[in-house]
Amino acid sequence: MNTDNKQPLILIGNDDGYNSQGIRTLTRVAREFGDVVVAAPLNHQSGKSCAISMDLPLRVKKISQEPGLTVYAVSGTPTDALKLVLDQLLDGRRPDIVLSGINHGFNTGISTIYSGTMGVAFEALVHGLPAVAFSYGSFSREVDFTPCLDIVRDIVKRVLADGLPADVCLNVNFPPSEGPIRGVKVTSTDMGKWVGEFEKRTDPFGHDYYWMTGTYRPADVNDHTTDVYWTERGYASVTPVTTNQTAFTRIADVARLLNLE
């Protein structure tokens, strides 16, 4: 809890833009728990990972303000938006929790590293704030998130009450579902990859161009510890993830390889 306000302060970002269905749904749920500040990209910023804008100045637009809810749109990436609101727009208040999403599309498996939704949660973790990213397995702009919302509420309530281990944030993925979600599993990130990643086309002037596309190939379809495995089976997946990418168990191997023992 912050000291100058009895209500928890909940900061929300995303990568689909400040006006997406997913962030509006998450904002409604978050308001049940406290004051909400939304700081999200002005435009759609999917696949932006933890990208930051070093070459361009950023602009902020205050979209709306009412008791308990302020909405900002930021001209840059999801990470830019979170950095900017924390540094410039909270008048010294510290959020009790940072939420990201609800993303339109899965952020399971290797997509974790490309995800702007995760970029928000990772940036919150850099700043020592408890953070949860939510993603839903449909790219549809008009989707009914209702089957997810009890689980969203439960996670927000527990993290607000008990915090998270200091070195992790949570990557939560919901399977597309018309009825109740089958359950919740704590998972690891599948280490698969996208294959057939580009479609080559020719423009009206005879020049080639390429669209990113592709199919996800899991590392091991029988590994029942992963986010991909469980979301494919109708379960919500919660993966604790870290910004520390050091491969600690490989330090000795690499020292040996470089003859530095």
The CA–CA distances, whole Å, from 38 to 101, 177, 180, 214 equal 11, 26, 28, 32
Smallest gap from residue 177 Cβ to a second copy (A): 19
- Which CB sits closer to a second copy, 177 or 187? 187
Residue 129 per-residue DSSP state: -
Smallest gap from residue 76 Cβ to a second copy (A): 9
Smallest gap from residue 27 Cβ to a second copy (A): 22
Smallest gap from residue 51 Cβ to a second copy (A): 4
- Which CB sits closer to a second copy, 69 or 126? 126
In this structure, are residues 92 and 76 in contact, taking their beta carbons and an 8 Å threshold?
no
- Which CB sits closer to a second copy, 94 or 144? 94
- Which CB sits closer to a second copy, 62 or 68? 62
- Which CB sits closer to a second copy, 67 or 206? 206
Instruction: Report angle CA 192, 198, 204 to the nearest 5 degrees.
Output: 165
Smallest gap from residue 5 Cβ to a second copy (A): 23
φ and ψ of 40, to 5 deg? -130, 160
Residues 253, 257, 260, 261, Cα dihedral to 10°:
50
Closest among 82, 78, 20 to 48, alpha carbons compared: 78
Assess whether the previous peptide bond of 102 is cis (omega < 30° from 0): yes
Kind plus residue range of the DSSP H or E element containing 112: helix 111-114
Smallest gap from residue 193 Cβ to a second copy (A): 5
Sort 245 into a burial class: Cβ within 10 Å, 0-12 / 13-18 / 19+: exposed
- Which CB sits closer to a second copy, 34 or 105? 105
